[in-house]
Structure formats: C-alpha cells, structure tokens
Structure 1
Amino acid sequence: MATIAQARPAGPTAASERALGPDLARGFMLLFIALANSHYFLRGDVVRGGFPMDGSWLDSAVTWLIATFVDGRAFPMFGLLFGYGVAQLVRRNEALGPRGVRRLLWRRSLVLIVVGFLHAMLLFVGDILAAYGVLLLLGAWTVRWRARWLVLPAAAFFALLMLPSADSLSISTDPPDASMLPPDLAGMVSERIVVQPLVMLGGPIGFACPFLVGLLAGRARVLERPAEHRRLLTVTAVVGLTVAVLGAQPVALMLAGVTDVPSASTLELIGPLHDWSGVLGGFGYAALITLVAARLTGRTGRVTEAIRATGQRSMTCYLLQSVVWVAVFTPFLLDLSGTLTVAGTALLATATWAATVVVADQLRRRGRRGPFEVLVRRVTYGRR
C-alpha cells in the first residue's frame, strides 16, 4: 500500500458513482437561488425585505410565495450540501492524513475565495462563493472533530439566529444601493470593494450551522443511502418544512400587504423567526428531495437527468445567473430595476434557471463538466 507521503488525492467522485439526491437538490434549488437573488435588485417608492410594496395583487401573491418558500430557505440547504460534500472529500482522501486533507481543503477554499471575489466585483456583490471559501478555510480544522464537538458549535450558531435583531434581510427597508446597482464602472469598483469583504467575512456566520450539520450527515452518508435513513429523512422533511412555512408567515404576510407593519420590537422578533425557521426549512428541502430521488433512482427521465446535470455543474450555473442580472438590472445597461415588477422578475428568474438547465444538459450530453467545476478540480486535485 502507498504510504501517506506517497499518497495522491483520490480526485472527485465519477459522475456515474454520484448519488442522485444531492445533485438533484442542487440543480432544483438553483431555481430558488435565482428567485431569492433577483428581487433584491428592484426599486420602488417603498421597499421592504427586497420587495417593492406598491405592486399589484399578483406581485403581492408572488411576494408571499417567495417569502414563504424561498427566501432564507435555499441558502441553508446549499450550506448543508457544501458541508456534506466536504465530508465526502475527506472520506475519499483519508490516505493523505490530517495535514494532507487540510491542504486539499485549503486549496479548494482558495479558489472559491478568488472566484467569489471576482464574481462580486464584476457581476453580483451578493456572492456566496467567497463566503463558502472563508468558511472552508476555517472549517478544515473541524472535519475530524467528534460528533459532539460538531453539534455544540452548530447549536450555538443556530441560537445566534434566534436572538432579537433588526438586521434581518427579511425586514430591511433598504433599497438596492450603488453596490447592487452601480451608476458606472468606477462606481461599481469603489462601492463593491467596500461591501464585498463584509459579505465574505460575515456570510460564514450564517452558513456555519448548516455546514457543520452537513459534515455530520456526510459522515453518516444520509443523502447517499436514503433507504437506511428513511425515518430521519421523513421526520426532517415534515418538521423542517412545516416549521419553515409557519415561521415565515409573520414576515410573508407583512411583505404581501395582508397585515400591517408591526412595531419595531415585534419586527426584531419576526425577522429572526423567519431566518432560523428557514435553516430548518433548508434541511427539510434536502431531506424531501433525497426521498424523491430515492424513488426516481434507476428510472430517471430526461427532465430529471437535466436537473441532475445542473446540480453537477451548480457553480457554473450559479455564475451564469449573475450574467443575466448584470445585463438586465445594471443602470448603464438595460436598467430594468425600476421597470420590472416582482412577478415579472420571478418569471425572469425562472426563465434564467431553465436556460441554465438546458446549458448543463448539453454539457452532460457532450460528456463535459462545467468550466468552473473544472477549475475547482484542477486547483484542488492538480488535475481535471
């Protein structure tokens, strides 16, 4: 057998060996990422939670749907899947030893930080890739912790979300600023160079709990072996999604204009309620899609395979979404942030996601990975 010093990284899991559940979850939930990101570009006389409050009844209905099922629910699921993927990488490369594995993870974190930084500066200041990179840079030290030492910080970070706060995005009254809608190229750089580090360094606080839970789930191979964990997945799906839907209602009904805006002290409670219930909703979505995938395994159709291909190329498809946001919303390009409604933007987001599904499926048919997946693998493993 090769010694640790001689061992080489095992490389990424072959496409034929990948479990359907995680890839299907990533691919489908990129639709929710598009819906969650795009409405924050909209302008209006009164904006709350990223939604203009002066729209039609259809806009109000779409606002309720997004606030209930999308905002604050999709990103925790991706955080969980990120941690899950890290656990898989660690398991495949145990022969490298603790230091070798950490170096592998740090190389991956470096490419995420660099790509994320460029993404934020050139396309979308709300980038999450750099935040994942910072999280992995620190999280590389936790991958060999015992389960109880992962549960404790996960619970602590979850508890932080429950504290009363007026800083929740779901209740913010801030309209899109110059970092989101730069007036020109110079303004884009000068504004985003200030905001991007805050997003990059603050993001890991919100993603830490899902990441650590993902590490635990990855060790147990919960999403890869759903038959062995059916009860856990079922309970997680039912409880997580029920709590997420109910916990979203105070904010969702307010944003939809069904209820009045409450007092400041009440806002400081319902904003965090929306956020922490969304973390459980993210877990619920991952569990639900894994259960669906278990039924589809071995008899997937063209649509399922296309969404699966999207999940396998999730980084490339995520970045492609930002190209659309730049073209449509940037003031010195199409400048439609004051023209599109909430419903129109949701339609644009859905069409954008569908287009990336087509692109990913074409790459799959040609036997090609996404270009950014190739980049990450090349930097992480030193080969394609």
Structure 2
Amino acid sequence: MTATMNVTTRSLAPDLARGFMLLLIALAHAPALVADWDAGPAWLNGAAKFVKSLVADNQARAMFVFLFGYGLGQLARRQTEWTSFRGLLRRRGFWLTVIGFANTVVLVPIDIVAVYGLTLLALAPIIRARDSVLLWTAGATLLPATLLLTWQSANTLIVATAGTPPTLAVYREPTLAKHLVAAIPTWPVETALCTIMVVPGMLAGLWAARRRILDEPERHLPLLRRVALTCLGVAVCARIPAALMLAGAWPVTSAPVAWLAAFAHDLTGYAGGIGLASPLTLAAYRIGGDHGPVTLALSALGQRSRSGARRSCWPT
C-alpha cells in the first residue's frame, strides 16, 4: 500500500501552477483569434490590453517553460538507468518535433511543440549535469533568448500602437494548397532559433526540481516568499512601460523606445514566470488536502495540461 501511494499521489503545487499558467496562456492568445481588437468600449479595450501585456505576454510562456523543465526534472528523479532514460528523452523529443511540424503544415504556421521537442533533443546530454553547468548554460542563453523575443515584441508593439494589431489571419494563406507548403521552407530555421528562448527557463525548472521546491514547499517557505516578492516585483515594474504602450496610454515615439520597453518587458518575463509559480506553491501549501472546487478545477487542468488525457506526456 505504501508503494502504491508513492506512485499515485501527486503534488498539488505543480498541477495548480500549470492550471493557472494555462489560463494566462489563453489570455495571451485569445486576441489573435478575433478579427478586431477594438470592437468594445475604448476604456475596456485599453484595460484588457494592459492586463494582457503585464500579466500574460511572454510571462505565461516563461512560466510554462519553467514548469516544463520542472516536470522533466521530476521524471529524471524517478529513473534508475541512464541509457534507457536518455532513449526515452530522445523518443519524446523526436515525436514532439514531428507533431509540431505536422501542426505547422496542416493547421497554423506558428508552432511551439516542435520547439520543446528540439530543445529536449539538444539538452538531453546535460540533463544529469552538475548544477553549475545548468545555471551557466541558462545564464549564457538568457541574453540571446531575450533579444530574439524583443525582436518579435518590439515589432508587434510598433504595429499594435499604430492601430493594426496582428491576428492569426496574417499568417494564413488564401488557399489550402498554398497553406500546406508555405511554412515548410522557414520551419527548420525558425524552430531552431526558438529553442534558444526555451533553454533558460527550462534549465531553471530542472534545477528547481532537483530540490523538490514545488513538491515540498514546507521545506522552502522562506525561499518561495523571497522569489515571489523579488521576481514579481521586478517583473511588474519593468513590464509596465510596454503594457502602457500597448494599451495606448504611453505613445511610442520611436523604434528605440519600443525596443527598450520590449527588452525590459521580455527579460523580466522570465523572472515573472518563475515568480508566479512561487505564490501558487505557497497557496498549495496553505490549502493542504482541503481542495475546493476552484482548486480541483485548476489542478485538473494542470494535470492534463499537455494532452488532455489522464496522464500527460510529461507525467509528474
């Protein structure tokens, strides 16, 4: 009975964090599915854009990457044979890449699944590396990752403040035949570049999983409080300018100003993504075993965050 409980009992904090993270991702991507961002009252549109930029944009993604790395660390902790585990990582990385490619060609030419698959294939050799290797690699990739994000964010910010915020429509071809072949030439390069954006947060999550920070919050309460206060405080302060620009409350006077605001926004999004996981872990500690309907709903969503099945492809 004891062995069964060890296998089947799940920690609440990672599932709760993943469920909340998915709500933020929905908030970040919902505007791309509509034809007109400005159909409602001006004040409400501005408030929605501000909240979306401050809380979700390139922060929910950073939280997802951190939790992806944490789940990988949990999986690695349960393995006893490195050769078979490395083969498992390679198979999963390969199939994630294949699924992402199919998604790009058949559905929408914007994909993240293959990015995680390719990153997993690239990082599999250092999964068991020393903490110093993980942290140095994360630090070395943080600046190029932020610059790549900034290039996307600054262009989006300039276009959005000009009154033409982009939607998914601009990425779609007029016919199915053109759509099926349009993304193939650029997909390899774009996917390879995007892997750099994943590495810093993923390795930070792997480092945290080695210490069971989300699984055993009672052992890390001071650390969780410091991370929540520091990371979220820095993220909020640094992300406000870009959020105000997107909301139309701060005019974009030049491209360098937009680039500076976008750089601060995206760099501290990594901190904010990690910081968001901390108060949710503290909340899970306070909740304990008394799960209300909101907790059950969020944790169930987080438990099925990647596949919609009872167990995701990255069981935790």
More helix by share: 2
Displacement of 1:194 after TM fit? 3.8
**Hey, what's the Cα distance between the residues in 2 that align with 1:35 and 1:69?**
9
User: How large is the Cα RMSD of the aligned pairs?
Assistant: 2.5
Q: 2:213 aligns with which of 206, 212, 222?
A: 222
**Hey, what's the Cα distance between the residues in 2 that align with 1:302 and 1:176?**
34
Q: 2:28 aligns with which of 36, 41, 49?
A: 36
Partner of 1:190: 181
Partner of 1:369: 310
Partner of 1:102: 86
Partner of 1:234: 225
Partner of 1:70: 56
For these two proteins, the number of residue pairs brought into alignment is: 303
Tell me which amino acid in the other structure corresponds to 2:197: G
Q: 1:245 aligns with which of 236, 255, 267?
A: 236
Kindly indicate whether the alpha-carbon contact (under 8 Å) linking 1:73 and 1:281 is maintained by their aligned counterparts in 2: yes
Partner of 1:347: none
C-alpha deviations, 1:321-373, integer Å up to 9, x for none? xxxxxxxxxxxxxxxxxxxxxxxxxxxxxxxxxxxxxxxxxxxxxxx626xx3
**Hey, what's the Cα distance between the residues in 1 that align with 2:147 and 2:246?**
21
Q: 1:149 aligns with which of 114, 133, 136?
A: 133
Change (3 A) 1:178 1:57: closer
Partner of 1:358: none
Partner of 2:71: 85
Partner of 2:274: 283
Change (3 A) 1:87 1:177: closer
Kindly indicate whether the alpha-carbon contact (under 8 Å) linking 2:49 and 2:243 is maintained by their aligned counterparts in 1: yes
Displacement of 1:263 after TM fit? 1.5
Q: Which runs of 5+ in 1 are unaligned?
A: 1-12, 45-50, 318-367
**Hey, what's the Cα distance between the residues in 1 that align with 2:16 and 2:68?**
14
Partner of 2:162: none
C-alpha deviations, 1:241-293, integer Å up to 9, x for none? 11111111111111111111122222221111110111100001111111111
Change (3 A) 1:293 1:170: farther
SS at match of 2:13: helix
Kindly indicate whether the alpha-carbon contact (under 8 Å) linking 1:162 and 1:273 is maintained by their aligned counterparts in 2: no
TM-score when normalising by structure 1: 0.73
**Hey, what's the Cα distance between the residues in 2 that align with 1:62 and 1:190?**
36
Q: Structure 2 matches for 1:326-365, cutoff 5 A?
A: none
Q: 1:112 aligns with which of 85, 89, 96?
A: 96
**Hey, what's the Cα distance between the residues in 2 that align with 1:199 and 1:178?**
19
The range that moved more, 29-38 or 53-62, is 53-62
SS at match of 1:266: helix
C-alpha deviations, 1:8-40, integer Å up to 9, x for none? xxxxx84x3221111111112111111112223
Kindly indicate whether the alpha-carbon contact (under 8 Å) linking 2:119 and 2:199 is maintained by their aligned counterparts in 1: yes
Change (3 A) 1:229 1:163: same
Q: Which runs of 5+ in 2 are unaligned?
A: 1-5, 160-164
Kindly indicate whether the alpha-carbon contact (under 8 Å) linking 2:15 and 2:302 is maintained by their aligned counterparts in 1: yes
Tell me which amino acid in the other structure corresponds to 1:22: P
TM-score when normalising by structure 2: 0.87
Change (3 A) 1:127 1:102: same
Structure 2 residue 117 is the aligned partner of structure 1 residue 133? yes
SS at match of 1:316: coil
Kindly indicate whether the alpha-carbon contact (under 8 Å) linking 2:101 and 2:114 is maintained by their aligned counterparts in 1: yes
